Structure 1
Amino acid sequence: MASLPWRQRQFIRVVISVVNGGLSLVVLLIAPLGLAAVITLTLLISLSTYLCCAVGERLSLWLELTPLQGDDAGAGPVLAATTVDRAPTELRAARRRLRGS
């Protein structure tokens, strides 16, 4: 999902948040809570879903940009700047995408 344009990523995040918020609204309306509590909890669940989607996209992009060095898969990720097979312009573009600009 990291290769999608910014507006599409925003749209996907909003749709997921609205669906999750709608489901939580239905569940919370069944419970004997006040209306203010239901509205507040629904908004907080929608906001947390949006933020989790954003963090998940950043993590997946970071994982795509950090290849493992050599055959040792247990060594952990290597900074993308140390890879030889990527051109500097490709690295700059990937960093810009990661920052969201």
Structure 2
Amino acid sequence: MVSAAAALRLEDGHIVEARLALGAVAARPWRANDAEALLIGQTPSDELFKRAADVALTGATPSGDNAHKIELARRTAARALALAAIGTPKRMPAFPASLFGEHAHV
């Protein structure tokens, strides 16, 4: 299991601010500063997000039996960036199992 968090700010169809963090790939979570820099000024695309994920994981080396985590992190980072590019709806519905959802049973 790995995690990725991404945030993008777009202006006129171009990325003007980018954040990408990865977790559960190494001993501690980290910000992918080089990948963030690559994204600035670019037009969002799946290909760009895959390149950014590659940059984020440049130099990553597996330890023991966790080699699969590098590829999983690559895919997870690219997906997080793609979802960030879509944006968040004004009101995001709570997950059905959420204790805070409209229909939560107490």
Tell me which interval the TM-score lies in, with the shorter structure as reference length.
0.3 to 0.5
Q: Which has the higher helix share?
A: 1
Larger CA Rg, structure 1 vs 2: 1
Q: What TM-score does the superposition give when structure 2 sets the normalisation length?
A: 0.36
